[in-house]
Amino acid sequence: MAGRLPEPVRQARDGIGEAALWMAFAVAATTTFGSLWLSEVEKLPPCHLCWLQRYFMYPQTILLGAAAIGRWLWIRWISIPMVLIGAGISTYHYILERFPDDVASSCDKEVPCTTVWIWKYHFLSIPGMAWLAFLTIAVLLVMARPRDAVAVTPGDSLGQPIGAEQT
């Protein structure tokens, strides 16, 4: 059927949907705290591209915290474009780390964007972790649903609140 989500996707959306704003807030807050920890406690200086990623992540903590408290699903129209731009910067930064070239010469000589401070599991660096955070927030925002969302089941034209018993 056109326009219908596959059953496993619908179940995941319905199960995570009500908590998705809080989960997105938790990802943004953890990422913000992690980047501050790396720069202020571990003394790893952020490069220019790291700062750009921070510009798109830090406001998410405030936006998504307020959205989770107020159940403001409309915030996704502000938040999703920001996280997609941040993910794009993270992608570029990750590629630049993996394949440094003459473009990297335009970076700051003291803190070049090609410096790899963390390398875990043979693929995960700081921009890679930022990319995962941006992508996770975007997916959670797409999955976010109102508290009393109506799930329409086949043969039920009116639907019932999710979790309600059918009579």
The structure's pTM equals 0.74
Q: Give pLDDT tens digits for 5-22.
A: 788 877 877 888 888 999
pLDDT at 105: 52
What token pair was written down for 144? Answer: 């976010």
Angle CA 38–121–93, to nearest 5 = 55
Q: Which residues of the chain have pLDDT under 70?
A: 1-3, 102-123, 147-167
For residues 114 and 100, the answer to whether their CB atoms sit within 8 Å is yes
- How far apart (Å, rounded) are the C-alpha atoms in residues 113 and 152? 49
- How far apart (Å, rounded) are the C-alpha atoms in residues 99 and 78? 32
Which residue from 128, 119, 43, 58 is spatially nearest to 92, judged by alpha carbons? 128
What token pair was written down for 70? Answer: 């107020």
